[in-house]
Amino acid sequence: MQPSAVPELAHTHTRPIHWLATATALAGVVALSSVLQPGAATAAQPDAPRTGSTPVHAGPPDPAAVAYPLECGPVKAVVRKKASGDLDGDGRPETVAVVHCDSPMGTPPDGVYVLTRDAESGRPRLVATLLDPEDGTTVGDFAVRGGAVTATLLGYSSADVPRCCPDEKSDAKWRWRDGTFVRSTPAGARSV
């Protein structure tokens, strides 16, 4: 007995419409994943011990617990990056937050803010603005190391440059000195 011939099935041949449907579905998944982001990871900290009547807070300030000086209209401010370390040498960590308006389109400019804990209440509070969003700059690489804040700043040479594609790049470093944060350009800085 010879095997019978199997008729050709229409659904086993790819056509341009199949590829178009697949590409559309994939684009939808990518677009949806850029809108639906998980919240920032946080580690639960045990309550700090109390000494006398003043609370002792050892952990860095939570950047989600602070109101930032941003005018975001109908969208909210979002903490894009954060890092902690002792910036002023007092033995308590500060938190540096990179924040921008959660715009669904374009590349919103970043603000860089320093937070500390209030000595009385222990609540986080904003104490310095290192980079104002009105400068129109976004932050690339960012770190807190050795008592300094370093960042790669991405900007635009003119209003004609599309806001998606910064054409200027510079490095900045902020260090606490004489009661204020002083900005400098680190050694080996580059510009595009």
Q: Which secondary structure element, helix H or strand E, spans residue 96, and what is its range?
A: strand 94-101
Residue 147, domain extent = 58-184
d(CA 28, CA 165): 23
pTM of this structure: 0.67
What's the distance, Cα to Cα, between the start and end of the chain in Å?
A: 75
Does residue 112 form part of some domain? yes
Does residue 2 form part of some domain? no
Q: Is 59 helix (H, G, I), strand (E, B) or coil?
A: coil
Does residue 164 form part of some domain? yes
Q: How many CB atoms lie within 10 A of CB 92?
A: 17
Q: What would the pLDDT profile of 132-154 be if each residue is shown by its tens digit?
A: 999 999 999 999 999 999 999 99
Does residue 83 form part of some domain? yes
Structural domain total, the chain? 1
Does residue 21 form part of some domain? no
Does residue 64 form part of some domain? yes
Q: Which secondary structure element, helix H or strand E, spans residue 21, and what is its range?
A: helix 16-35
Residue whose entry in the numeric block shows the structure tokens 């033995």: 91
Q: What would the pLDDT profile of 115-137 be if each residue is shown by its tens digit?
A: 999 988 889 999 999 999 999 99
Q: What would the pLDDT profile of 1-16 be if each residue is shown by its tens digit?
A: 555 555 554 555 666 7
Does residue 124 form part of some domain? yes
